[in-house]
Amino acid sequence: MFQSLQPLPPDPILGLSAAYRADANPSKVDLGVGVYKDANGNTPVMRAVKRAEEILVASQNSKAYVAPTGAAGYNEIIASLMLGNTLKQFLSDRRVTVQTPGGCGGLRIAAEFIRHANPDATVWVSDPTWANHIPLLGSAGLKFKQYPYYDHSTHSVKFDEMLCCLSEVPKGDLVLLHGCCHNPSGADLTREQWLAVREVALAQGFTVFIDLAYQGLGDGLDADVFGVRLLAESLPELIVVSSCSKNFGLYRERTGALTVICETAEAAAAVTTLLASAARANYSMPPDHGAAIVQTIMENPELSTDWDFELKEIRDRINSLRALLVARLQTAGVDRDFSFIEKEKGMFSFLGVRKDQIQTLIHKYSIYLVGSSRINIASMNEDNIDYIVQSIKAVL
Ligand code: LMR
């Protein structure tokens, strides 16, 4: 049965990490997978996370199963972080939040829920979008179309084209937006643009579906969810997938959530059963540890203040690396305007180099970046930035 199987090509993002690990070049740099690295090139466990783990080891007295929808306390914390308490109260029983195994688990359960609600639904994704959106949602049987998003020549969102496209999306379809720190481009919607998206969503009646993987990595925990909150308070229905991989640094603990806002509390009660059933059919229940860490941190004022502080340090460092890269490219005499990188948000930006130049960066200079020219800004530091700049200069 297995003899005729052929190997698949490496994953476009995770495959780079494997190639990087196998590379013997001491100057190698991994600008591929979206993982934060500190000034020493490490991905540290956040201080509050370490403390919460100590508390959990000392206090946890059972490893019995959790519910398919996860820990109720964690779900409320995620909803509060995303919506703020006032809006959360306003939405009341119209909102359902369930714990999921990371953002990916949330996307997968959302996809199955969407298929159940409307088997004919098309999900409209930004061009470009995260490389795993289509494989992940598509494996649940959803159909896709793209809306224009990033203009590689102006390095900005082509919003007029995007809006024009969205104004043709019918009721019953979904529009997948990135809540903040657009992956892969780093180019986010402005507040005015979110307002315009709200108007078109209300006029057309399509359902907005938000992937919120980077809350707190752009401008701040509240500023990054301006669009999410705007749509949550004004649209009858909304789907949001949250991830704690980046903002709590819980990557491998697979800690996420899926929130569905419905027109009525009755619909939300039905949705809860559908999400629980989808979880049960896939993985039975989400892993507990990461969610227990988040809950422990957020229920402890000292730990949550420290977490907020460390997250700000991470955010500020990424933003200063953006400025540093632009400045070093300029100082090195690179004859191209990279100032757009400084205006973008989150971990990623497109370098905007050709495919052959990407291959040269990888194979000659051991600088690993995604095939779209996406680079992880958060992987740079004082030790590697000049090598990166010189290598970019050489390939240009
Ligand atoms: C990324 O885009 O690099 C991250 O979201 C990690 C992943 O799973 O692809």
SS3 assignment, position 368: strand
CATH of the domain at 361: 3.90.1150.10
Chain centroid offset of residue 152 CA = 21
**Inside any domain, residue 139:** yes
Write out the DSSP string of 308-356: HHHHHHHHHHHHHHHHHHHHHHHHTT--S--THHHH--SSEEE----HH
Domain C-terminal end among 239, 264, 299: 299
Per DSSP, what are the bridge partners of residue 199?
Answer: none
pLDDT tens track, the chain, 396 positions: 999 999 999 999 999 999 999 999 999 999 999 999 999 999 999 999 999 999 999 999 999 999 999 999 999 999 999 999 999 999 999 999 999 999 999 999 999 999 999 999 999 999 999 999 999 999 999 999 999 999 999 999 999 999 999 999 999 999 999 999 999 999 999 999 999 999 999 999 999 999 999 999 999 999 999 999 999 999 999 999 999 999 999 999 999 999 999 999 999 999 999 999 999 999 999 999 999 999 999 999 999 999 999 999 999 999 999 999 999 999 999 999 999 999 999 999 999 999 999 999 999 999 999 999 999 999 999 999 999 999 999 999
Domain count, the chain: 2
**Inside any domain, residue 307:** no
Whole-number pLDDT of residue 368:
98
- For 121, 182, 253, 255, the CA distances from 107, given in Å and listed in that order, are 15, 16, 16, 12
- Pocket-forming residues, ligand 1, beta carbon under 6 Å: 13, 33-34, 130, 132, 183
Whole-number pLDDT of residue 268:
98
Domain C-terminal end among 248, 275, 299: 299
Same domain, 257 and 380: no
Same domain, 95 and 18: no
Among 130, 31, 37, 35, residue whose Cα is nearest residue 376: 31
Among 36, 105, 27, residue whose Cα is nearest residue 387: 27
Own/partner contacts of 219-223, CB < 8 Å, gap of 24 or more, are 219/180, 219/315, 219/345, 220/312, 220/315, 221/81, 221/247, 221/308, 221/311, 222/84
Return the structure tokens found at 184.
């892969």
Residue 187, class by beta-carbon neighbours within 10 Å (0-12 exposed, 13-18 middle, 19+ buried)? buried
Choose the catalytic residue: 158, 173, 224, 246.
Answer: 246
Domain that holds residue 230: 65-299
Pocket test for ligand 1, best of 13, 126, 372 (most atoms within 8 A of CB): 13
Choose the catalytic residue: 211, 288, 307, 345.
Answer: 211
Same domain, 182 and 249: yes
CATH of the domain at 235: 3.40.640.10
Look at ligand 1, atom 1, and give the residue with the nearest C-alpha: 34
- For ligand 1, the distance from its centroid to the CA atom of residue 33, given in whole angstroms, is 5
**Inside any domain, residue 165:** yes
Active site residue 219: no
Domain C-terminal end among 299, 332, 363: 299
Same domain, 290 and 256: yes
Chain centroid offset of residue 89 CA = 25
Pocket test for ligand 1, best of 36, 130, 247 (most atoms within 8 A of CB): 130
Active site residue 211: yes
The sheet with strand 143-148 has its strands ordered as 95-101, 255-261, 238-243, 207-212, 174-178, 122-127, 143-148
Whole-number pLDDT of residue 44:
94
**Inside any domain, residue 99:** yes
Q: What's the alpha-carbon Rg for the chain, to the nearest Å?
A: 21
The amino acid that residue 143 corresponds to is K
Look at ligand 1, atom 9, and give the residue with the nearest C-alpha: 13
Choose the catalytic residue: 28, 124, 130, 307.
Answer: 130
**Inside any domain, residue 242:** yes
Same domain, 85 and 136: yes
pTM over the 0.85 mark: yes
- For ligand 1, the distance from its centroid to the CA atom of residue 185, given in whole angstroms, is 13
- For ligand 1, the distance from its centroid to the CA atom of residue 15, given in whole angstroms, is 11
**Inside any domain, residue 110:** yes
Active site residue 307: no
Same domain, 387 and 259: no
Half-sphere exposure of 185 (CA within 13 A, CB side): 23
- For ligand 1, the distance from its centroid to the CA atom of residue 164, given in whole angstroms, is 29
Q: Which atom of ligand 1 is nearest to the CA of 245?
A: 5
Among 219, 167, 240, residue whose Cα is nearest residue 197: 167
**Inside any domain, residue 374:** yes
